């Protein structure tokens, strides 16, 4: 697969930034809102935003179950911030009626690093990426614990902030907001390897 077609779940959140980041690392990127659009892509990015709203909109647009099916079948997926929450098998503090698509055997805590006004940037060493990545943490979650099949790719301040399990990648932070697209490059390499 030379140029993968990667969808960005475009229900809510920083969709445009992911489309730009993916295009910069030689992928064709397009927004995905409906099951038929999801069926056409080789892989998917679930962007940052508000995880409860994203969950409700995924249900309303009829993509929640198709997302679960694609991820369960091994479709490569990358989630940032709210996307990490959506990929968790369990949330410690879910909102009422909040659902996830699952895919990574991890337990996450929403807004773990604090509220909006406590957002920050920090250098993070990510396994698979040469040199530190500037992470933008906006009301960011962290990973409380992972199962045996999950690889921890990065920690910050003693907390897990990047993980990978098979074809699923997730970060607590937003690399798409910095202009440094190496984490997206890592994901595109995963997509190509999954073929």
Res 2: pLDDT: 80
Res 1: pLDDT: 60
**What integer is the mean pLDDT of 26-31?**
97
Compute the 3-state secondary structure of the chain and give helix, strand, coil in percent, each to the nearest 5: 30, 30, 40
Give the chain's domains with CATH numbers.
5-194 (3.40.50.880)
Average per-residue pLDDT for the chain: 95
17, 81, 181, 184: the active-site residue: 81
Look at the pTM and tell me if it is higher than 0.85: yes
Res 98: pLDDT: 85
CB 168 within 8 A of CB 103: yes
Cβ-Cβ contacts under 8 Å for 41 (sequence gap 6 or more): 5, 6, 7, 30, 32
- Which pair of tokens denotes residue 49? 């935003």
Strands (E), 92-175: 104-109, 120-124, 133-137, 142-146, 151-156, 159-165, 168-171
pLDDT of 101 strictly over 80: yes
* 176 in catalytic set: yes
- Which pair of tokens denotes residue 42? 């080789």
**What integer is the mean pLDDT of 158-182?**
97
Q: pLDDT tens digits for 121-168?
A: 999 999 999 999 999 999 999 999 999 999 999 999 999 999 999 999
* 159 in catalytic set: no
Alpha-carbon span 84 to 103, nearest angstrom: 10
**What integer is the mean pLDDT of 3-29?**
96
pLDDT of 174 strictly over 90: yes
- For the chain, give the number of residues: 195
17, 176, 181, 184: the active-site residue: 176
**What integer is the mean pLDDT of 44-71?**
95
Terminal C-alpha separation, the chain: 6
Alpha-carbon span 114 to 140, nearest angstrom: 7
18, 174, 181, 184: the active-site residue: 174
Q: Which residue's structure tokens are 């990929």? A: 87
* DSSP tag of 77: E
Pick from 188, 153, 177, 189: nearest CA to 17: 177
Q: pLDDT tens digits for 65-100?
A: 999 999 999 999 999 999 999 999 999 988 777 899
* 151 in catalytic set: no
% the chain with pLDDT above 70? 99
């Amino acid at each position: 697969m030379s140029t993968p077609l990667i969808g960005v779940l475009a229900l809510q959140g920083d969709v445009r930034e992911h489309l730009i980041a993916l295009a910069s690392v030689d992928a064709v990127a397009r927004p995905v809102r409906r099951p038929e659009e999801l069926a056409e892509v080789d892989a998917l990015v679930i962007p940052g935003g508000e995880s409860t709203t994203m969950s409700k909109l995924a249900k309303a647009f009829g993509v929640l179950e198709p997302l679960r099916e694609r991820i369960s079948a091994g479709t490569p997926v990358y989630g940032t911030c709210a996307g990490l929450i959506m990929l968790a098998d369990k949330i410690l503090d879910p909102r009422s009626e909040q659902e996830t698509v699952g895919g990574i055997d991890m337990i996450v805590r929403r807004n773990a690093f604090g509220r909006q006004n406590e957002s920050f940037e920090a250098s993070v060493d990510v396994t698979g990426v040469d040199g530190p990545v500037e992470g933008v943490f906006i009301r960011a979650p962290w990973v409380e614990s992972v199962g045996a099949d999950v690889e921890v790719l990065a920690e910050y301040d003693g907390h897990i902030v990047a993980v990978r399990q098979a074809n699923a990648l997730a970060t607590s932070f937003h690399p798409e907001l910095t202009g440094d697209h190496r984490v997206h490059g890592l994901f595109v390499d995963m997509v190509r390897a999954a073929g």
